[in-house]
Structure 1
Amino acid sequence: MARRKLSHEGTLVLDCEGLSKFVSDHEPVVALIAEARKRGMEVVISALTIIESVHRRTDKARLAWVLSGVRIVHIGDEEAKAASAMLINAGLHGHKYAIDAAVAETALRQRRPVVMLTSDIDDMTKLCGDRVRLVAV
């Protein structure tokens, strides 16, 4: 993966793939997160991202270590309503895109500039528009 430039300060949001690759110690993702932290960016995830990324073979000890170093953003009633509105505006259905919408809504509430590590550039672009810089992982 080519070296990507990140902003100074702001927030780095991990979606499911970003978190999964961080937990699996994927070198390019670990390097991006280390660079973000060096630049003063806070690393955050949606609480729902934990649910989406965990599976039977997840290294539970590594997951616990990774989670201890990120801020986990909880989703309440207001955030769920905002994510639902984002789905409608993007023309997407909650059955398939609910967690993506919650992650996008989480990203939009963070300190700017916001960068998201995601494997789903197309859908996140529909949800976030140009308000979040998307980096493919």
Structure 2
Amino acid sequence: MARHKLSHAGNLVLDREGLTKLLEDHQPTVALVAEARGRGMDVLINALAIVEAAHRRTDQTRLAWLLSGLRISPISDKEAKAASTLLIGAGLHGHKYAIDAAIAEMAVRQQRPVVMLTSDIDDMKKLCGDPVRLIGI
């Protein structure tokens, strides 16, 4: 991962891949999260990304420890409706992109600046637009 300049304050959002990389102790991702925290940024994850990332071989103890250091954003009917609006606006279908839309909705409503670590730059760009700076992982 190339070196990325982060802002002071603001928010760093992780998608499923961001959480997966933390679980795997992927050093560039770990370093970027540590840098964000050092700059006073909140590190957030949508509750649905946890569901998407977990599988039978997930180390539950490590997952619980990592999540204890993240701000977990729940999804209510209000957020679900806003995510649906993003999907429609991006021309995407909920069956394939529902969780991405929920993560994008959470990201766009955060205090700026917002940076997202994602493995899906193209779709997240469609969903988030310009308010969220995307970093590929």
**TM-score, normalising length from structure 2?**
0.98
Report matched runs for 1:69-88 at 5 Å.
69-88=69-88
Shift of 1:38: 0.4
* Local SS of the residue matching 1:117: strand
Matched, 1:131 2:115: no
Deviations 1:9-51 (A, max 9, x none): 0000000000100111110000000000000000000000000
Residue 55 of structure 2: aligned partner = 55
Q: Percent identity of the aligned residues?
A: 72
Give me the whole-angstrom Cα distance separating, in 2, the residues matched to 1:94 and 1:2.
32
Q: Partner residue of 1:99?
A: 99
User: What runs of 5+ residues in structure 2 fail to find an aligned partner?
Assistant: none
The 2-side partners of 1:10 and 1:115 are apart by 8
Cα RMSD, aligned residues only: 0.6
**Is residue 122 of structure 1 aligned with residue 122 of structure 2?**
yes
Aligned letter for 1:39?
Answer: R
User: 2 CA distance for matches of 1:112 and 1:90?
Assistant: 22
Q: Deviations over 1:93-134 (max 9, x none)?
A: 000000000000010111110000000000000000111000
Q: Which letter maps to 2:27?
A: E
Shift of the alpha carbon at 1:70?
0.3
Q: State the number of aligned residues.
A: 137
Q: Which runs of 4+ in 1 moved over 2 A?
A: none
Look up the equivalent residue of 2:24 and give its one-letter code: S
**What secondary structure is seen at the aligned counterpart in 2 of 1:12?**
strand
What is the TM-score normalised by the length of structure 1? 0.98
Which residue number corresponds to residue 112 of structure 1?
A: 112
| Structure 1 residues 37-56: aligned runs within 5 Å | 37-56=37-56
> Which residue number corresponds to residue 9 of structure 2?
9
- Matched position secondary structure for 2:12: strand
Question: Counterpart of 1:40 in structure 2: which amino acid?
Answer: G
